[in-house]
Amino acid sequence: MTRWLTDDEQRTWRAFGLASRLLTDRLERDLLAGAGMPVTYYELLVLLSEAPERTLRMSELAHWTHSKPSRISHAVNKLEQAGWVRREHYAGDRRGWLAVLTDEGLAALETAAPLHVESVRAHLIDLLPPEQLRRLGDISRTLLQHLTETGQDTQQSTQQSTGQAEE
């Protein structure tokens, strides 16, 4: 038997869904307008910039973004056309490819990053008092742990996306 949502649960669910979509849309629009790149490309450039030698296997990019390899391949093609990324064969695997962040890609990321951070602050971070922001972080980590395959993926992904490293 279906456990229907209560009125409060329904209001919360709908507010969360709409707020999530509107926030994502706003961040996407701001980044496109300010830096000429969608959030997906920005995320890939960030991952590459944080990787050793600014290089990751294509399969690792797919893993960290929870994307299909074909989607990553398409995005990397676009980044290559912009001169921000280049592909190299992976020496350990004839079928494997590496994505390498170019100097031009790093410069594009360095231009986009302040614009993206300003947008994130304006539309999320600065709107919430510290206690709400802490609770949002707790809620987000709970959802990530549930929605990803393992808690380890969540921990590593969260550390990468927040710039925190395990010590």
Q: In the chain, which residues have pLDDT < 70?
A: 149-167
- pLDDT at site 5: 97
- pLDDT at site 151: 46
Q: Taking Cα atoms as reference points, which of 85, 86, 88, 87 lies closest to residue 108?
A: 85
The pTM (predicted TM-score) of the whole model is: 0.81
Backbone dihedral region for residue 83 (phi beyond 0: left; psi -120 to 50: alpha; all else: beta)? left
The span from the CA of 80 to the CA of 87, in Å, is: 8
- pLDDT at site 165: 40
- pLDDT at site 93: 75
> Angle at the Cα of 49 (from 157 to 163), degrees rounded to 5?
40
- pLDDT at site 102: 98
Burial of 166 (0-12, 13-18, 19+ CB in 10 A): exposed
